Amino acid sequence: MEFCDECGSMMHSDDGLWVCGSCGFEKPRDVENEADMTTTEDQDTDSGPVDMSEVDDAEIGPTTTVRCPECGNDRARYEMKQIRAADESETRFFTCTECDHKWREDDH
């Protein structure tokens, strides 16, 4: 696996080149270097929960288009959490990208 030097996205192989699907950056493949790469084949990928307690909120999560009830901004980061019984759907929590106001999907 190779990551783009320009934008950090995962690259794919195409005719002896590594090509970034996000920004189009290309670089030649290095067969000797690739022999030393670690793969995820036969690895346990379920290592349990990830501790995000010391990560700044600005670095967490994808964003979506949703109107902030506090300032009217139209972008917010979101995260899904299971706060009820396992047979009920997750709750989506939002954080405004402008004012950092926090709310959940079912708040009105």
Annotated binding site for Zn(2+): 4, 7, 20, 23, 68, 71, 96, 99
Asked whether the CA dihedral 11, 14, 19, 20 is positive or negative, the reply is: negative
* The two structure tokens encoding residue 17: 């080149």
- The set of residues, in sequence order, having a beta carbon less than 8 Å from that of 65 and lying 6+ positions away, is 74, 75
Q: Using CA of residue 80, residue 86, residue 89, residue 91, what is the dihedral sign?
A: negative
How far, CA to CA in Å, does 48 sit from each of 22, 42, 66, 103?
A: 29, 17, 30, 27
- Binding residue positions: 4, 7, 20, 23, 68, 71, 96, 99
